[in-house]
């Protein structure tokens, strides 16, 4: 699995993905909002994470009427381990969690 440059925006996206669950998955706009980043930043990060095997995506099976289908993003098994390691390492360096991760995480 290829490594990725762990910039602050990339770490913010990873934190949102780590906080998502199967019952409450992350999609593009939600990631943008929770990471406080624009779509022009988030979608290239999601593309790089997908290319390197950190995340997988799937289109919503039954879209809600009146809006386009969402694309859900989830960390792969290895991607989750790498993301946890990256976030833990960065938190150790700066000492405070990101708002996207939450104070109790």
Judged against a pLDDT cut of 80, whether residue 98 lies above it is answered with: no
Q: 52 and 1 in contact (C-beta within 8 Å)?
A: yes
Question: How large is the average pLDDT for residues 80-103?
Answer: 73
Bigger pLDDT: 102 vs 60: 60
Structural domains of the chain, ranges and CATH numbers in brackets: 8-90 (1.10.10.10)
Reported as half-sphere exposure (CB side, CA atoms, 13 A), residue 89 has a value of 11
Going by pLDDT thresholds of 50, 70 and 90, the confidence category of residue 83 is very high
């Amino acid at each position: 699995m290829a490594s990725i440059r762990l910039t602050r925006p990339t770490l913010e996206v990873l934190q949102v993905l780590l906080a998502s669950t199967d019952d409450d998955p992350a999609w593009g706009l939600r990631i943008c909002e929770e990471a406080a980043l624009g779509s022009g930043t988030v979608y290239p990060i999601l593309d790089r994470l997908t290319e390197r095997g950190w995340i997988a995506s799937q289109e919503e099976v039954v879209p809600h009427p009146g809006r386009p289908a969402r694309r859900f993003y989830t960390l792969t098994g290895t991607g989750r381990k790498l993301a946890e390691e990256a976030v833990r390492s960065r938190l150790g360096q700066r000492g405070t969690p990101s708002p996207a991760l939450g104070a109790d995480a």
